[in-house]
Amino acid sequence: MPRILNKNLIISKTPLRISLFGGGSDLPSFIIRNGQGSVVNLTINKFVYSVIKIHGTIFDKKYRLNYFNTENVNHFSEIKNNIIRGAIKYYEIPDPLYISTISDVPSGTGLGSSGAFLVGLCSLMNIIKNKRVTKAQLASEASMIDINLLKSQGGYQDQFASAFGGFNKFTFYQNGNFKKEKINLNNFIKLFEESSVLVFTGKTRKSNKILSVQNNNMKNSNKKSLVLELLNLGDYFLKSSNSRKDIYQLYIECMNESWKIKKELSKGIFDNSMEGLYSLLKKEGMKTGKILGAGGGGFFLASFLNYEEKNFFLSKYRKKLKILEFNFYDKGSQIL
């Protein structure tokens, strides 16, 4: 943790993530039934910036909050933003606070922005509490707030991806432990960056609704087996990457299978309103892709065959579609 010169105003910068394989296996409902779950994800150079300031009693209200809404309240129980309210309650900070956040993407778009916001907020509050924490502690505290305190329907991967950063496989165990394995596939990362973009569907969504259905589906042995297949695909991709020279083609094969399975998890993941965009992307050369996060809207990860095909697509659609280009980012949440 860096030396903070002014604890009255602190800023965090927390990366967003792209989940490649294993999504859904990080849900507690799956981990309880299967004993463990594992995800393969990577962080990108799109961020959530959070600001926290201890402000004086001259203000009329104890808490002033700015996100996509503005709140001015006297007690943390009055705070409408679940994440901010949960974090203040968890850390038991008595000071009057100003909290603001700025994101590179809208919320509810499948890049883990809520998890990134919570991780960045936890990092700030630990500084106010004069507490040094490791990345593992930061991710665990954020997960505790999200899953246990706020009763979110989500899993662990967003918090762990944002806290650690980089290209990793995370395995989550039933006893609460986890294992992080750094993935060293620089040749794949280069090809992935050069050939992939994020295309906005035009829809944001509340992930809790879709994830609630997926959590309930874990009682169904057929749905649970689908998530197990997604988990196994991640393992297959990593194991095969050691022997396959055409690693990007391997990614295309695995991602196509992953997308086919993911659509079967819940009807809310991919609806008819997104068929037009998917058909267009396929027509224009997309070799593989999927809706990110819980689905139902947000960003579609579109991977083309190579840099030239991606650039040809961008030249045609940069002004017609909402397209987000990105690069790999190998650091986790930081204090600026």
Burial class (CB in 10 A: 0-12, 13-18, 19+), 165: buried
1 within domain boundaries: no
Do 165 and 193 sit in the same domain of this protein? no
Do 207 and 172 sit in the same domain of this protein? no
282 within domain boundaries: yes
| Res. 3: pLDDT tops 50 | no
pLDDT, greater one: 65 or 6 = 65
211 within domain boundaries: yes
Do 36 and 165 sit in the same domain of this protein? yes
Confidence of residue 215 (pLDDT cuts 50, 70, 90): low
Kindly report, residue by residue over 85-144, the tens digit of the pLDDT. Answer: 999 999 999 889 999 999 999 888 899 999 999 999 999 999 999 999 999 999 999 999
Do 140 and 273 sit in the same domain of this protein? no
Confidence of residue 272 (pLDDT cuts 50, 70, 90): confident
Contacts of 29 (CB under 8 A, 6+ apart): 214, 215, 216, 218
205 within domain boundaries: yes
Find the length of the chain: 336
220 within domain boundaries: yes
What are the strands of the beta sheet with 323-324, ordered from one edge?
Answer: 288-291, 299-303, 196-200, 323-324
Do 146 and 281 sit in the same domain of this protein? no
Q: How far apart are CA 195 and CA 310, in angstroms?
A: 6
E-assigned strands of 126-274?
A: 167-173, 178-182, 196-200
**HSE (CB half, 13 Å, CA atoms) of 92?**
0
Range 45-49 average pLDDT: 98
pLDDT, greater one: 295 or 83 = 83
210 within domain boundaries: yes
Do 178 and 35 sit in the same domain of this protein? yes
Do 151 and 217 sit in the same domain of this protein? no
Domain membership of residue 212 as a residue range = 186-324
Confidence of residue 205 (pLDDT cuts 50, 70, 90): low
2 within domain boundaries: no
Do 151 and 78 sit in the same domain of this protein? yes
Range 189-212 average pLDDT: 82
Do 149 and 192 sit in the same domain of this protein? no
Q: CATH number, domain at 139?
A: 3.30.230.10
Number of domains in the chain: 2
Q: CATH number, domain at 294?
A: 3.30.70.890
**CA separation, residue 256 to residues 233, 250, 286 (Å):** 11, 10, 11
Do 243 and 199 sit in the same domain of this protein? yes
Q: Which pLDDT does position 270 carry in this prediction? A: 78
318 within domain boundaries: yes
Do 262 and 179 sit in the same domain of this protein? no
Do 194 and 308 sit in the same domain of this protein? yes
CA 333 to chain centre: 13
